[in-house]
């Protein structure tokens, strides 16, 4: 890795109770591992991979030698707001990651997408991404409207 490039966004690890949050963070471009595992394994992975551990578990959040963020709310918007404030990152999507598997998405041209998406989508959309791992193709219409609305609500929560 080239250390001279801009500081990378923090890498995250979400515990079993935060699956929805993990999917949204991926969509926003954050490298977010989601693990349904016991505390020991979560702590191990967070430490080894230098990830900020997002958890709703007080005990886990207080473990020494770990970077943790205790997620206080059960409401997704508030959780997102808390994480984004804590890591001081912009709300703009950088390079989105696959909601399902966390792989960085690659851009597809309209020509490449044609034939792989419904015809009306190929005719009306201009921006496509594909997951290199699970092959899912997404376009802004699939969920960007919902995301923008949700992020608006996140911005309003102070
Ligand atoms: Zn994927």
The reported pLDDT for the residue numbered 145 is 66
Are 49 and 31 contacting, i.e. CB atoms less than 8 angstroms apart?
no
Query: How many structural domains comprise the chain?
Result: 1
The answer to whether residue 62 sits within a structural domain is yes
In DSSP terms, 52 is beta-bridged to 12
How close is the Cα of 97 to the center of ligand 1, in Å? 8
Under 8 Å CB-to-CB from 109, ≥6 apart: which residues?
128
The answer to whether residue 7 sits within a structural domain is no
Range of the domain at 26: 12-156
The answer to whether residue 126 sits within a structural domain is yes
CA–CA separation, 26 and 42 (whole Å): 18
Segment 132-148 shows an average pLDDT of: 79
The answer to pTM > 0.85 is no
The answer to whether residue 131 sits within a structural domain is yes
Nearest Cα to 11, choosing from 27, 25, 30? 30
How close is the Cα of 135 to the center of ligand 1, in Å? 6
pLDDT one-digit tens code per residue, 85-115: 898 765 555 678 998 999 999 999 999 999 9
Segment 43-65 shows an average pLDDT of: 95
How close is the Cα of 20 to the center of ligand 1, in Å? 15
The answer to whether residue 119 sits within a structural domain is yes
Kindly state the DSSP code that residue 93 receives in the 8-state scheme: -
The answer to whether residue 3 sits within a structural domain is no
The answer to whether residue 4 sits within a structural domain is no
How close is the Cα of 134 to the center of ligand 1, in Å? 4
């Amino acid at each position: 890795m080239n250390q001279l490039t801009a500081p990378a966004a923090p890498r995250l690890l979400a515990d079993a109770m935060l699956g929805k949050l993990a999917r949204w963070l991926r969509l926003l471009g954050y490298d977010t591992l989601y693990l349904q595992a016991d505390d020991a394994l979560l702590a191990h992975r967070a430490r080894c991979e230098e990830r900020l551990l997002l958890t709703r578990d007080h005990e886990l959040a207080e473990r020494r030698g770990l970077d943790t963020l205790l997620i206080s709310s059960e409401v997704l918007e508030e959780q997102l707001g808390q994480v984004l404030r804590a890591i001081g990152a912009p709300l703009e999507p950088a390079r989105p990651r696959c909601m399902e598997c966390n792989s960085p998405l690659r851009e597809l041209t309209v020509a490449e997408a044609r034939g792989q998406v419904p015809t009306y989508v190929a005719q009306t959309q201009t921006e496509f991404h594909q997951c290199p791992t699970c092959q899912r193709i997404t376009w802004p219409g699939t969920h960007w409207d919902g995301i923008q609305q949700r992020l608006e609500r996140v911005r309003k929560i102070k």
